[in-house]
């Protein structure tokens, strides 16, 4: 079931990416290139939710799609965030609380962004809405067979986020770092969920591929 939901999130993200191809201009300079960005980093809980969540390594997949004015771009971004999870408040639907568990948040954001080009260095900022699937672990017990198992309490939520980033061309490679803050609209154990994100990785120039796809669609 979880794999199916992840595939749905990926398909939604890729669909939005292909729809947005109509907004791009021909790749005649670095300013008009389309990038696929894969990142590795962490989500750091902020405020009261730190009692429940703790950072673990997470992944991102995004696309930087330039608009007609190269100062602006569209940024579809998919998050695969993992957290350590310590349950502090007993769930009335379960007999026990869970410590040392693992929570997962899968998110899809579609955000407008603003560029600033400084030679090989590109600085940018972005902000917009997101949708998330949240998986909170629980301990389910079966008294008759004296068995306990981990299951997920799954729910859908929306939210808003914003951030800044930079990427630098180093030969044929494009290195990037990003940091931002997100806030979803559903509380976790009575606490608002604020998360500071920090990740970095590589961007791949996929302009030729998108040009071909753009001509097809």
CATH of the domain at 10: 2.40.160.20
Q: What is the pTM of this model?
A: 0.80
Give the 3-state secondary structure of residue 26: coil
How many domains does the structure of the chain reveal?
Answer: 1
pLDDT digit string (tens) for the chain, length 217 residues: 444 444 444 444 444 444 444 444 343 456 788 999 999 999 999 999 999 999 999 999 999 999 989 899 999 999 999 999 999 999 988 988 999 999 999 999 999 999 999 988 999 999 999 999 999 999 998 878 788 899 999 999 999 999 999 999 887 789 999 999 999 999 999 999 999 999 999 999 888 776 666 565 5
Burial 166-181 (b: 16+ CB within 10 A, else e): bbbbeeeebebebebe
**Which structural domain range is residue 179 located in?**
2-216
Q: Is 37 left (phi over 0), alpha (psi -120 to 50) or beta?
A: beta
- State the pLDDT at residue 58: 96
23 — phi, psi (to 5°)?
A: -85, -10
Q: Which pLDDT score is estimated for 214?
A: 58
Place of tokens 């990926």: 10
Could you tell me how many residues make up the chain?
A: 217
State residue 142's pLDDT score: 81
Per-residue pLDDT, 182: 97
């Amino acid at each position: 079931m979880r794999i199916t939901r992840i595939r749905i999130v990926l398909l939604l993200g890729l669909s939005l990416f292909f729809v947005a191809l109509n907004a791009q201009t021909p790749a005649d300079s670095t300013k008009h290139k389309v990038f696929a960005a894969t990142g590795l980093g962490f989500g750091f809980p902020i405020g009261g939710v730190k009692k429940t969540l703790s950072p673990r390594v997470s992944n991102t997949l995004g696309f930087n799609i330039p608009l007609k004015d190269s100062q602006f771009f569209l940024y579809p971004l998919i998050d695969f965030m993992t957290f350590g999870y310590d349950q502090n408040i007993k769930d009335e639907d379960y007999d026990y609380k869970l410590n040392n568990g693992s929570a997962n948040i899968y998110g899809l954001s579609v955000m407008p962004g603003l560029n600033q080009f400084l030679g090989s260095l590109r600085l940018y900022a972005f902000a917009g809405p997101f949708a998330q699937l949240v998986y909170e672990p629980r301990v389910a017990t079966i008294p008759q067979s004296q068995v306990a198992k981990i299951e997920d309490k799954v729910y859908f939520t929306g939210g808003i986020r914003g951030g800044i980033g930079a990427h630098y061309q180093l030969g044929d490679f494009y290195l990037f770092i990003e940091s931002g803050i997100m806030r979803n609209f559903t509380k976790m154990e009575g606490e608002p969920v604020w998360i500071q994100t920090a990740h970095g990785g590589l961007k791949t120039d996929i302009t030729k591929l998108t040009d071909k796809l753009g001509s097809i669609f």
